[in-house]
Amino acid sequence: MSIRTALPEGGKATADRAGEQLVAGIAKAFPTARTGTVETVSGKVSGELLRTGAISLALAILGISIYIWVRFEWQFGVGALGRLFHEVSLTFGLFAVTQMQFDLNSVAALLTIVGYSLNDTIVVYDRIRENLKKYRKMEIIPLLNLSINETLSRTVMTTLAMLLALGVLLIFGPDVIFGFTAAMLFGVFIGGYSSVLMSTPVLVWLKVGPDSFVPRTTSGVGGAERVERKDDGAVV
């Protein structure tokens, strides 16, 4: 087990003396107890951790949004960003409510959650894009429901498998990765439902429809608009 106390005022020398007094008090009260190393973390180190963690998260989210934007369309990038913001914000809230220690393991957990969320988002969006090309006359909401149902079994099975593994690790795993495991468990649970409730409704709000990504060319007298459908060669 570990004992954490507030850092006393007076710099490193005062902190070292406080640590020695704490170790001596433990040895006096519990002669058979074994004590390890005493470490002090100043506010400067905490500030650096917060800054580097925020930069890492921002770069990861930016890279993911660019990737989805290039692979799909900007509407899909907005949906992915909204889902990532939702999951990362709730995970931060978990640390704030439970007062768990936020360290480099926690930053690693957040980055892992972001990557896991990207994988799930890509699967759902790829099926939506396929159905947008396949069902040109279907309304967007039934089309999204169809796409979600087609990927729902994969999402549920993957999420349950992750939750089972993380739950066992949380109960029987070492204390040093407790924060990492708890954050991952919470993030995977949030990601399980946000893939359905967060990523797809954004497409409806952004007016995505079956003809949203069909190339449009202007030709003819008076600049009449012609829509070319590449899937079956029909021209409207």
Burial category of 219 from C-beta neighbours within 10 Å (exposed 0-12, middle 13-18, buried 19 and up): exposed
Residue span of the structural domain in which 13 resides: 1-40
Q: Which two tokens stand for residue 73?
A: 């369309």
Alpha-carbon dihedral angle through residues 101, 102, 103, 107, given to the nearest 10 degrees: 140
Cβ–Cβ under 8 Å, residues 110 and 183:
yes
Assigned domain for 5 exists: yes
Residue 127 and residue 74 share a domain? yes
Residue 58 and residue 29 share a domain? no
Measured from the Cβ of residue 157, the count of other Cβ atoms closer than 10 Å reads 10
Question: CA 210, 215, 220 angle in degrees (round to 5)?
Answer: 120
Per-residue pLDDT tens, the chain, 236 aa: give them: 666 666 666 655 666 676 677 777 777 777 776 666 666 665 555 567 777 777 877 887 778 777 777 777 778 878 888 888 888 888 888 888 888 877 778 888 888 888 887 788 888 888 888 888 888 788 888 888 898 888 888 888 888 998 999 999 889 888 888 888 998 899 888 887 777 777 788 888 887 776 666 655 554 444 444 444 444 433 33
Residue 11 and residue 71 share a domain? no
Residue 131 and residue 193 share a domain? yes
